[in-house]
Amino acid sequence: MITGSTSTTELDRPRFFIDGRWANPVGTEVYTSLEAATGEPLGRAALGSPADIDAAVTAARRALDSGPWGRSTPSERAAVMRRFAAALAKRANATSRLVSQENGMPLWLSTSFNGAAPVGALERYADWAETVLFEETRASASGATIVRREPVGVVGAITPWNYPQALAMNKIAPALAAGCTVVLKPAEITALDAYVLADAADEAGMPAGVINIVVGGRETGAALVAHPGVDTIAFTGSTAAGRLIAAECGRQIKKVTLELGGKSAGIVLDDADLDVFVGGLLAVSLRNNGQTCTASSRILAPRSRYDEVVDAVTTFAAEMRIGNPLDADTTCGPMASSGQLERVLGYIDLGLRSDARLTTGGGRPAGFDRGWFVEPTVFADVSNHDTIAREEIFGPVLVVIPYDGDDDAIAIANDSSYGLAGTVWTTDEQRGIDVARRVRTGTIGVNYYANDAGSPFGGIKASGLGRESGREAIDEYLEFKSIYVSSDYEPDQEGKAR
């Protein structure tokens, strides 16, 4: 981070989006966003102080408690959400490109996750909003009970830099469908793209205060979590930060959803077709330069085919196209920041100093003096007890661990503090599904891994609490309320909206 630089670019975002307006920051801290591939400045963004967070929460509170949003019907909200989707779609190409510059994600991938995905999420949740049973009446022993699903209230959404637009919308869209208002605190690294959401919401006629955006770092996020005006926290990020956030939410008895880290296993069964497995490696284990929470970064290989699997993974990693994320043929772009580069190199160093065998990579690639590039790296002969097999590296670094028999593979897969995702590779799909049932994670793929926007996503153990995606995500933003009526109450409109 560079503070105090005075140069300006058209990408600069010197103000926050609060109460439907661009608000000057209370503090003076400024973040200079650096292009991941070059280290050159891209633009600057103001960093939020607790006072800025307070202004944003106050606006969100007002929009919910006394603004039109708090009295809106699901259809009215859906209409705004569809306009919001259309406004984002117009910006999708520019946004995808900007994110690639900020965090190093190959543009072909960014187009999907930062361009199309948020638009699709808004459209889906707009449709689902109109099908939620917000109110029903049940006969009770002494009269009737009106069972309502009410919005939780003000949502504090905190997001990381790796899939910034998709992860922000995974929170905003179900929250809007439920009738909540939102304060979004994006990560600094992807500060510049975050405000595209405000530009689009504004154009869509989103009522003031329904979406507020204040970029900042850890302290800004902590101020949002601690704010008594926030009713629930929706967090995606590291397990370390998730623990602190959950502790504060526990202190306040505040709802929280946590999408945290992972160290998922890719289990290659002894009948696997290695061409199919290798064909999936980029998407499953090395997507976004390895900066993906669901990455199958521990490859479990049957001892009978161990050398074959190691050779296949090594060849694939060694042949990846390292390059500028804006180039169409790049399969491995740079790390998102210098800090992230240091972190990944630190783990590679740990691997080099362990009994593991480096089969490819192992440092910074030759010829890439600028930017934060790391070579795709593979370690073989790794024990599941090694630090590089236990901790999330969050870079293009894979470990290959041998196993003996399916039970052993499942035991190794489950011997992790995390429980986010995983994959099973086999020519016998039913066998793969049977193995997948026994792996303790929130999601798992058989012969591929693809996030399904129509189904719940999330982790167990140290990978998180609660679910995003699917219709189920709306439930995270609703509270039940039962109104007991002493008579045989007859509703004038069954399933009436709020």
Ramachandran angles phi, psi of 138, nearest 5° = -120, 145
For position 476 contacting ligand NAD by CB under 6 A, the verdict is no
Please pick, from the candidates 187, 249, 335, 478, the single residue that binds ligand NAD as defined by CB under 6 A.
187
Which residue lies nearer to ligand NAD by CB, 137 or 288? 288
Of the candidates 260, 261, 266, 272, the one whose C-alpha atom is nearest the C-alpha of residue 422 is: 266
**Residue with the closest Cβ to ligand NAD?**
221
Q: Name every residue whose Cβ is closer than 8 Å to that of residue 470 and which is 6 or more positions away in sequence.
A: 452, 453, 454, 455, 456, 457
169, 155, 69, 165: which is closest to 122 by C-alpha? 169
Nearer to ligand NAD by C-beta: 34 or 80? Answer: 34
Query: Beta strand pairing status for 377-380 and 357-360?
Result: antiparallel
Which residue among 20, 74, 104, 261 contacts ligand NAD (CB under 6 A)? Answer: 261
**Burial zone of 490 (CB within 10 Å; 0-12 exposed, 13-18 middle, 19+ buried):** exposed
Contacts with ligand NAD, 136-165, as mask; x by CB under 6 A: ----------------------xxxxx---
Rg value, the chain, Cα = 23
Which positions from 337 through 366 interact with ligand NAD, judged by CB under 6 A? none
Pull the structure tokens for residue 322: 């390292």
Minimal distance, residue 322 CB to ligand NAD, in Å: 21
CA–CA separation, 447 vs 435, rounded Å? 12
Catalytically active residues, by annotation: 259, 293
**Which positions from 365 to 404 touch ligand NAD by CB under 6 A, shown as an x/- string?**
---------------------------x-x----------
The answer to whether 19 contacts ligand NAD (rule: CB under 6 A) is no
Residue 225 within binding range of ligand NAD, rule CB under 6 A? yes
CB closer to ligand NAD, 87 vs 398 = 398
Tokens 């599941």 — which residue?
Answer: 384
Among the listed residues 86, 144, 208, 244, the single contact to ligand NAD using CB under 6 A: 244
DSSP string, 182-236: EEEE--GGGHHHHTHHHHHHHHTTPPTTSEEE----HHHHHHHHH-TT--EEEEE
Orientation of helix 218-226 relative to helix 50-65, angle to 10° = 40
**Distance between CA atoms of 48 and 404, rounded to whole angstroms?**
52
Least separation in angstroms between residue 28's CB and ligand NAD is 19
Question: Which residues between 52 and 111 bind ligand NAD (CB under 6 A)?
Answer: none
Query: What's the min distance (Å) between Cβ of 69 and ligand NAD?
Result: 25
CA 49 to chain centre: 24
Site track for ligand NAD across 274-303, x = CB under 6 A: -------------------x----------
Which residues would be at the binding site for ligand NAD (CB under 6 A)? 158-162, 167, 185, 187, 217-218, 221-222, 225, 236-238, 241, 244-245, 259-262, 293, 392, 394, 420, 459, 464
